[in-house]
Amino acid sequence: MPVEVRVRYAPSPTGEPHLGNIRTALFNWLFARHWGGTFIVRIEDTDVTRKVEGAVENNLKSLRWLGLDWDEGPEVGGSHAPYFQSERLALYQEVAVRLLEEGYAYRCYCSPERLNEMRQEQQSRKQPSGYDRHCLGLSHSQVREYEVQGITPVVRFKMPLEGETAFEDLVRGHVSFENRLLDDFVMLKSDGFPTYHLANVVDDHSMEITHVMRAEEWLPSTPRHIQIYRVLGWEPPLFVHLPMILGPDRSKLSKRHGATSVLEYRDMGYLPEVVFNFLALLGWSLDDKTEIMSREDVIKSFTLDRIVKAGAIFSMDKFTWMNGHYIRQLSTQELTKRLLPFLERPYGKGGLPDQIQRPIDTGYLNKLVPLLQERLKTLASTGEMNTGEMISPFFLDKLDYDVKLLVQKEMDITGARSALEESLRLLEILPDFNAQMLEEKLRALSQVLGLNTRQLFGILRVAITGRTAAPPLFQTMETLDRERCVMRIKAALESLRHVPVL
């Protein structure tokens, strides 16, 4: 790369940081880290009517969670401060005045009502919608009349009417737009705040941005930006428009395809390294087969020629599969550490039952984690039930039984009682209470009782854990220990004694 790379992520604080936003941030960050360049965070907060409380903080929180550190921007500062556009208004107004004086812009006093009528008329005539230049060339008396009425004008950029505006996109190649189809857009609003078109050009120039990497939806705006650069005599950056993220039905990704906020996925128990890996492969790839990549490998391999033009399909199934794969690679101690915040949530939000004392005993949890690790799809869930529900039998002193679950298919109350009684006798005299011996002896017992293993193991699973879905039975019994298993089987028998035999 012949120049020092300077790229930026410039979110607008108008909502939660969704996957598309953060994918854009990630690609910019990867490009900067690959080339040893600078990654800048800039907050484009000029749309004051749509600003959402906490959106800036959540954007920064998402970046930190994924390990996307920034070299300049909020909280870290930098030589191109300030990094909030609301603190840079004088810069935009100065440029707007210059363009007015040089004849590249003009003031527009049109009311919202007039603009709406204009668009409706254009639609009725099946004409392209766009401003009709009503205010271009107003006389002094007309301007005075508007000013007497107290109307504060907006400033519009005067687009050329002929020719084309063309540029080279580093992903899409040569792109051109007919100027006659591009209307005179608003650069400066009546409240003195710039629109995106003016602010991002001024800031990208003053912050010496070399590459603008942004979503495909901004592609039609690029000729407007090119024209501003041209009349100001500034060299435009190189442009990279990233492919859209699509749902499985190839429509734009939305809530109906699943959560879209990065922080929602964090709270659902997805690992940050998985979100990093998965998002990196939405529109970029190393080859046609590599799916699991470390952060270091992605940085080393990330080049713009591997970005695709076509929309990237977001597959929730693949995302969850990848998360499970990463979970299985974690050490017991690391998985315990990551599970703790989820288990310590209130029970109604997926944690352990509220009567279980917090903080949770990490030493004991370390023993349980290997029983769960193969089944976890996220830190919060196995897919069948949340982690708190799955692990709660290991922490509870007493279980509540649904007696219907204790009686297995093709068994009756008498048979269920007999199976539990014989199992109890066996467990009380076993010389070693470990998973291997438990499985060996209980398999043999099922034959003696004339039951298949599904029936005997099923009734024992319910007696030991209180539910039909649980971690592997014999490892569970070994972890709980002989005393608690015996106590629970006795409790299950007691619950069956209150059920009449039909």
The one catalytic residue in 51, 158, 189, 255 is 255
Q: What is the pLDDT along the chain (502 residues), one digit of tens a residue?
A: 657 999 999 999 988 889 999 999 999 999 999 999 999 999 999 988 888 999 999 999 999 999 999 999 999 999 999 999 999 999 999 999 999 999 999 999 999 999 999 999 989 998 888 899 999 989 999 999 999 999 999 999 999 999 999 999 999 999 999 999 999 999 999 999 999 999 999 999 999 999 999 999 999 999 999 999 999 999 999 999 999 999 888 888 877 776 678 999 999 999 999 999 999 999 999 998 999 999 999 999 999 999 999 999 999 999 999 999 999 999 999 999 999 999 999 988 999 999 998 999 999 999 999 999 999 999 999 988 899 999 999 999 899 998 899 998 888 999 999 999 999 999 999 999 999 999 999 999 999 999 999 999 999 999 999 998 889 999 999 999 999 999 999 999 999 887 665 5
Q: What is the pLDDT of residue 238?
A: 97
Q: Domain 88-242 class?
A: alpha beta
Instruction: Name the fold adopted by 403-497.
Output: Arc Repressor Mutant, subunit A (1.10.10)
As given in the structure block, the two tokens for residue 293 are: 């990549």
DSSP 458-470: HHHHHHHHSSSS-
DSSP 217-246: GGGGGHHHHHHHHHHHTPPPPEEEEEPPEE
Q: What is the pLDDT of residue 49?
A: 85
Q: Which is it for strands 173-178 and 38-41: parallel, antiparallel or unpaired?
A: unpaired
For domain 6-85+245-313, say whether CATH 3.40.50.300 is its number.
no
As given in the structure block, the two tokens for residue 118 are: 């204009």
CB within 8 Å of 72: residues ≥ 6 apart: 38, 39, 40, 41, 78, 79, 80, 81, 83, 207
Rg from Cα positions in the chain: 32
The residues with which 41 forms a beta bridge, in sequence order, are 9
Is residue 255 part of the annotated active site? The answer reads yes
Long-range contacts (CB closer than 8 Å, 24 or more residues apart) made by 492-500: 492/401, 492/406, 492/420, 492/462, 492/463, 493/417, 493/420, 493/421, 493/424, 495/401, 495/403, 495/406, 496/403, 496/406, 496/413, 496/416, 496/417, 496/420, 497/417, 499/403, 499/413, 500/413
Q: What is the pLDDT of residue 255?
A: 72
DSSP 267-327: HTT--HHHHHHHHHTSSB-SSSS-----HHHHHHH--GGGB-SSPEE--HHHHHHHHHHHH
DSSP conformation class of 440 = H
